[in-house]
């Protein structure tokens, strides 16, 4: 009974298989192939161990995060969303065009009511708009101009509601994780043309 022709897993030469499990043509190739398989298994185990370590480290870091860490992460995603949303609009204060070619470079996500004075409005989309860095950081007296631009965009009633909003919002860790996911999804939708 003749065996089936097959290629050696080591040298790639054709040989006749005597058993279905044969993968190499002879003892020399078998020894080399066996070492290769053992090295591959060891490498695979090493990669799996490294992956487990990374997952454990990520989980430990996640457990060590404070509420402020979650606020910072959510604020970063929120700011990116606002900058992308407003990239083709003029600056809310001065009306000059925002340099859309360098998002995060030449303009900020500026808040009408500052995060320091109204932290409960830090994630309110009506309170944040694309603003040139000069107007946001060095233009502390631009609040009047911001208000004028805001009235043009969202209307006087919405601005007055924003100014009157004193409702405290005590975000939990879960709230912040949800907000971050929500703004990340909104940003993704905007980038995909939605």
User: What band does 20 get if pLDDT is binned at 50, 70 and 90?
Assistant: confident
Higher pLDDT, 144 or 103: 144
- pLDDT tens digits, residue range 150-174? 999 999 999 999 999 999 999 999 9
Q: Is the pLDDT of residue 52 over 60?
A: yes
Q: Which of 85-89, 108-112, 139-143, 180-184 has the highest mean pLDDT?
A: 180-184
The pLDDT score that the predictor gives to residue 194 is 66
**CA–CA separation, 180 vs 194, rounded Å?**
19
Q: Is the pLDDT of residue 102 over 70?
A: no
**CA–CA separation, 73 vs 90, rounded Å?**
27
What percent of the chain is modeled with pLDDT above 90? 66
**CA–CA separation, 171 vs 142, rounded Å?**
29
pTM of the model: 0.73
Going from the C-alpha of 8 to that of each of 19, 22, 40, 112, the distances in angstroms are 13, 9, 18, 72
In the chain, the largest separation of any two C-alpha atoms, in whole Å, equals 96
The pLDDT score that the predictor gives to residue 136 is 83
Question: Considering only 11-15, 49-53, 100-104, which range has the smallest mean pLDDT?
Answer: 100-104
The pLDDT score that the predictor gives to residue 104 is 53
The pLDDT score that the predictor gives to residue 36 is 93
**Residue 90: strand, helix, or coil:** strand
Residues whose CB is less than 8 angstroms from the CB of residue 125 and which lie 6 or more positions away in sequence, other chains included: 82
Report yes or no: 25 and 15 within 8 Å, Cβ to Cβ.
yes
């Amino acid at each position: 009974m003749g065996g089936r022709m097959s290629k050696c897993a080591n040298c790639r030469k054709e040989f006749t298989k005597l058993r279905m499990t044969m993968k190499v043509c002879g003892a020399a190739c078998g020894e080399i192939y066996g070492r290769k398989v053992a090295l591959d298994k060891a490498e695979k185990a090493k990669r799996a161990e490294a992956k487990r370590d990374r997952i454990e480290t990520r989980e430990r870091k996640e457990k060590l995060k404070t509420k402020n860490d979650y606020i910072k992460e959510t604020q970063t995603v929120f700011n990116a969303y606002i900058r992308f949303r407003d990239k083709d609009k003029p600056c809310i204060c001065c009306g000059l065009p925002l340099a859309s070619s360098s998002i995060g470079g030449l303009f900020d996500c500026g808040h009408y009511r500052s995060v320091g004075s109204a932290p409960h409005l830090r994630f309110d989309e009506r309170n944040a708009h694309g603003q040139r860095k000069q107007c946001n950081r060095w233009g502390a007296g631009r609040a009047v101009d911001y208000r004028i631009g805001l009235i043009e965009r969202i209307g006087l009633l919405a601005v007055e509601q924003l100014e009157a909003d004193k409702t405290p919002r005590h975000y939990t860790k879960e709230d912040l994780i949800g907000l971050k996911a929500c703004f990340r999804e909104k940003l993704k939708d905007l980038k995909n043309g939605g």
